[in-house]
Amino acid sequence: MEIEAVSVKIPEGVNIIAGMSHFIKTVEDLYEALASSSPHLKFGIAFCEASGPTLIRYDGNDKELTDFAVDIAKRVAAGHFFVVAIRNGYPINVLDKIKKVDEVVNILVATANPVQFLVVETDQGRGVIGVVDGFKSKGVEGDADKEHRHKFLRDIGYKR
C-alpha cells in the first residue's frame, strides 16, 4: 500500500468542491444542480468511475474549468471521486445543491486554497483518505483580526 499527496494549486478566482459519489449519472445530476444555481456561475465537473470502463466522465459550461477538473481527476484517479471547479460564485452558493444530489456520498473539501488529496493505492485501486486544505494555523485571532473578519464578510455581502 502506498500513500501519495496529490497537490493542486487553484487558479485565482476559482474554487473547487470535491467529494465522493456512487453512480455514473453523477456528472449529469451535478451539471443540473449547478446550472440551476445561478446564470452567472461558470463550472467544470469531472467524475472517476469505479467499475466498468473506469473512465473519467466530465461536463461543464466552461472549457477551462472543465479541463481543470479533468486534470485533477486524472491525477487523483480514485474510484467515485468527483471534483467541481467554479468561478463567479463561492462554494457556499452551491454546496447545499451539491449535497442534495442523490449520488453524492460526502464532500471532502470546498476551497480556493492550495490543496493536497491524500490518496492511497492498494492492489485493487485508489481511494482518497484525506485532504490537506491550505496551511497550518499560525495562532489565535486578536481584536484587529476579528475586526478584519467582520469587515470582510460585510464587504463581500455575506453580512449586513
Q: Residue written as cell 466522465?
A: 57
Average pLDDT over residues 66-91: 97
pLDDT in tens, 15-28: 999 999 999 999 99
- Alpha-carbon distance values, 97 to 30, 49, 81 (Å): 8, 21, 18
Q: Does 148 score more than 90 pLDDT?
A: yes
Helix (H), strand (E) at residue 75: helix 63-76
Taking the C-alpha atoms of residue 150 and residue 104, their distance in angstroms, rounded to an integer, is: 33
Angle at CA 158, nearest 5°, toward 21 and 105? 10
Q: What is the pTM of this model?
A: 0.93
Q: Which domains does the chain have, with CATH numbers?
A: 2-155 (3.40.1520.10)
- Confirm if 8 and 120 have CB atoms less than 8 A apart: no
- Confirm if 86 and 41 have CB atoms less than 8 A apart: yes
Q: Does 4 score more than 90 pLDDT?
A: yes
pLDDT number for residue 157:
87
